[in-house]
Structure 1
Amino acid sequence: MSPHRPGLSDAQARFSLGDEADEAEQPALAPGSRLPSYIRDHRARLRQRFSEGGAAALPDYELLELLLFRTLPRIDVKPLARRLIDRFGDLAGVLAAPEAQLTAVEGAGPSVAQDLAIVAAAARRMTRARVMNRQVISSWDALLDYCHMTMAHRETEQFRILFLDRRNTLIADEEQARGTVDHVPVYPREVVKRALELNASALILVHNHPSGDPTPSPQDIAMTGQIRAAAEALGIQIHDHLIIGRSRETSFRSEGLL
């Protein structure tokens, strides 16, 4: 039977035990002892640089260190931050990584994975708030930021639809389908049906390429044409189709494909 702390529910006890499991990986400190001075000084320097220069003053692994300070308060987190960046490429890749992959990295237990997931969720909420119920034309850069935050580091394809009203205000953002590493099934009838349910006047189609290369495939072009034909038959416009890669995106409208 799992031990319980007095006054904790079963769910709280399980959560607490998960934290203890992470703490068990950290070197124990003697009662009343403090962190070694080199760790304290390093943390103080990073915090000061962030306070004075913001995120731009720190590379990804040091910004990640700042996040890890609170999760792992008793150890030097620089080696873990570097391992995570080496494994996932950059800070965005770390924040987008699934829990199973994060906890496979030496030193990253369940509490690390959960805290990073909370940061990622907060970032997505913030970027989404910048585009919802706003005119797309005036918030295009924010829209691209949101699409990259949500989709750029996914390991499988995802197809999303942004629904716009007559004023080109974003009224809904929904995931339509998920697929494999190089294919996602999309059904034009379902796309149009949902647009009618939401009384949308226009759509922006968005999907990602896990390969990182946002170049449209022949299948992407054909699928876009099918959706466009089905939508325009009912008076619904397709404003654009965005393909999101790791570091850039492709706009069908800009490329003359719409």
Structure 2
Amino acid sequence: MPADAKSPPGFAEAPHYHGHRERLRERFRDAGPDALSDYELLEMVLFRALPRRDVKPLAKSLIGRFGSFAEVVHAPDARLREISGLGEAAIIEIKLIAASASRVAKGQLKQRTMLSSWAAVIDYCRTSMAFADKEQFRILFLDKRNQLIADELQQVGTVDHTPVYPREVVKRALELSATAIIMVHNHPTTPSLITLDHAQAR
């Protein structure tokens, strides 16, 4: 329809962003998620929460503020609420992505009969805790074949401190008959940094 033509009576002209949304969906379907930039993937997350808005500027603003798609979905709720135009419905959609990623990573780790490499453990830990806003201390309990028995969150601390009680760690290892443990804690001030310590239970 020409730019100066009027819509037929009873029909409202579709917002300009409707075509953009459909093109994004087609590109995602045909070329896969790697064909989309971080802000475009974030746009698709926001579609359902904000069906009547052009979410492209908001998605770009979020990436500009936090740095990447991963950092946006793992950002604390309080910081997300600071973003103009981002309501509770949109925040829930964003946190749903973080929860889904964590659940998938945990499921994949539990399905493995053996933790065969440090890289696999590090990838899992980064997914589940790298962007937490408080320091966490987690323990992976292993049997003598390095099979995962349990992954447990032991303590949650402040931004830069979490208490650890060796007696409780040893007690839990004995309860689970673990022969080795991997102790993990994050560094909220440096989201990409995860510290691992390995110990043999006797």
Could you tell me the TM-score, scaled by structure 2's length? Answer: 0.85
| 1:133–1:171 CA contact under 8 A, matched in 2 | no
Partner of 2:5: none
Matches within 5 A, 1:80-229: 80-138=58-116, 140-212=118-190, 214=193, 228=199
**Are 1:48 and 2:26 an aligned pair?**
yes
1:66 to 25, 44, 48: 44
Structure 1 window deviating more from structure 2 (174-183 vs 131-140): it is: 131-140
Post-superposition shift, 1:111?
A: 0.5
Instruction: Give yes or no for contact 1:131–1:139 (8 Å, CA) kept in 2.
Output: no
Displacement after TM superposition at 1:32 (Å): 6.2
How much has 1:120 moved relative to structure 2? 1.4
TM-score with structure 1 length normalisation?
0.68
Distance of 1:170 and 1:145 partners within structure 2: 15
Distance 1:34 1:168 in 2: 62
Q: Post-superposition shift, 1:105?
A: 0.7
Higher RCO (C-alpha 8 Å, min separation 6): 2
Could you tell me which runs of 5 or more consecutive residues in structure 1 were left unpaired when the two chains were aligned: 1-30, 236-258
C-alpha contact 1:130 1:142 (8 A) present in aligned 2: no
**Count of residues in correspondence between the two structures:** 192
Q: 1: CA distance between counterparts of 2:125 and 2:105?
A: 9
1:124-177 Cα shifts (integer Å, max 9, x gaps): 111111111523433654432221111111222111001112221112111111
Amino acid in structure 2 at the alignment position of 1:107: G
Task: Give per-residue Cα distances to partners, 1:68-122, cap 9 Å, x unaligned.
Answer: 1111111100111111112222111111122222122111111011111222111
CA shift for structure 1 position 34 = 5.3
Q: CA RMSD of the aligned region, Å?
A: 2.3
Q: Determine helix, strand or coil for the equivalent of 1:174.
A: strand
Amino acid at match of 1:99: D
Distance in 1, matches of 2:125 and 2:11, equals 48
Contact 2:114 2:146 in 1 (8 A): yes
1:76 counterpart residue number: 54
Task: Give structure 1 regions of 4+ aligned residues with deviation exceeding 3 angstroms.
Answer: 31-35, 135-142, 213-216
Q: Is the 8 A contact 1:133 1:169 kept in 2?
A: no
Q: Which consecutive residues of structure 2, in runs of 5 or more, have no partner in the other structure?
A: 1-9
Residue identity matched to 2:132? R
Partner of 2:140: helix, strand, or coil?
strand
Q: Describe the SS at the equivalent of 1:70.
A: coil
